[in-house]
Copies of this chain bind each other. A is one copy, B any other.
Amino acid sequence: MAWRGALAEFLIRKLEHFTSLSNDDKHALDQASRQRTRRIRSRDDIVHEGDLPQGVNLILDGWACRYKTLEDGRRQIIAYLLPGDLCDQNVSVLREMDHSIGTVTAVTLAEIPTETMRQLTSGHARLSQALCWESLVAAAIQREWTVNIGQRTAFERLGHLLCELYVRLRAVGLTQGNTCELPLTQAEIADTIGLSVVHVNRTLQELRSVGLISLRGRELTIHRLEALQRAVQFNPNYLHLGREGRHLDSNEA
């Protein structure tokens, strides 16, 4: 059976970078994704800080983000949730959410009940490992963001973010050649890498003028990925995609 078109398609593709799943595993994942799906419109909230944590959300389509707002309005985007990403495999252990999750684009998500998750992991050793891997990778990404914001220059920070998003999208088959969608406004990028909008704009101009990227409409093209990686010290090892995350064929354009 081809898993193109399965609701859990992107998640399955992602997990297969770590291990190959049996048809049974994939079927179970897909079933779990069908129990309850929800459509949320663009720039809307999925979960609020202070909420009681619910079961697991799987992003089926669209972009979301975790974010936190300070009292005076400053906002930090803490993570991007792309198709195939699971939010919070175990949060229900906590008493309340310490941050919010909002959409960037319109999003379709599957709400997988805690009980279904339990069944998935107890009955499928391989799958259970793969899900564990997925949450370790999410943690590794969060660590890398700390490094990115803490140590890198504006140019490197922005380039690094673009590399990461591109490679993550490629890992789930959402790139065409060296192009992918980038539905973020410059204000959102600014809140992601801790810069002002104006400086994001300047830095974007710089990345363009040295010929490393194009960004028009909501479409990003990375002209020379290798060069960009070098220029911004992007080492994809933290994504744990095997074989360094490079040379993974994307779906052809």
Q: Which residues of A contact B (CB under 8 A)?
A: 66, 68, 70-71, 74-76, 78-79, 90-91, 93-96, 98-99, 129, 132-133, 136, 139-140, 142-147, 149-152, 191-194, 233, 237-238, 240, 242
Number of copies of this chain that the complex holds? 2
Check A93–B132 contact: CB distance below 8 A: yes
Q: A142-B146, A146-B76, A151-B70 are known contacts. Are A136 and B90 too (CB-CB below 8 A)? A: yes
Q: How far apart are the CA atoms of A66 and B147 in the complex, in Å?
A: 11
Q: A142-B142, A143-B66, A143-B78 are known contacts. Are A96 and B150 too (CB-CB below 8 A)? A: no
* Residues of B with C-beta under 8 A to A147: 68, 70, 76, 78
Q: How far apart are the CA atoms of A81 and B130 in the complex, in Å?
A: 26
Check B237–A71 contact: CB distance below 8 A: no
Counting from the closest, the 6 A-B pairs by CB-CB distance are A150-B194, A98-B238, A76-B147, A76-B150, A74-B151, A142-B142
* Residues of B with C-beta under 8 A to A150: 76, 149, 191-194
Taking A78-B147, A79-B143, A94-B240 as known contacts, 16 extra A-B pairs with beta carbons closer than 8 A to each other, sorted by chain A number, are: A68-B143, A70-B233, A76-B146, A76-B147, A78-B143, A78-B146, A90-B132, A90-B136, A91-B136, A94-B133, A98-B144, A142-B146, A146-B146, A149-B149, A149-B150, A149-B194
Q: How far apart are the CA atoms of A76 and B94 in the complex, in Å?
A: 29
Q: A75-B151, A76-B150 are known contacts. Are A240 and B95 too (CB-CB below 8 A)? A: yes
- Among B90, B142, B191, point to the contact of A143 (Cβ < 8 A): B142
Q: A149-B150, A194-B149 are known contacts. Are A96 and B237 too (CB-CB below 8 A)? A: yes
Q: How far apart are the CA atoms of A76 and B156 in the complex, in Å?
A: 15
Check A95–B151 contact: CB distance below 8 A: no
Q: How far apart are the CA atoms of A130 and B99 in the complex, in Å?
A: 21
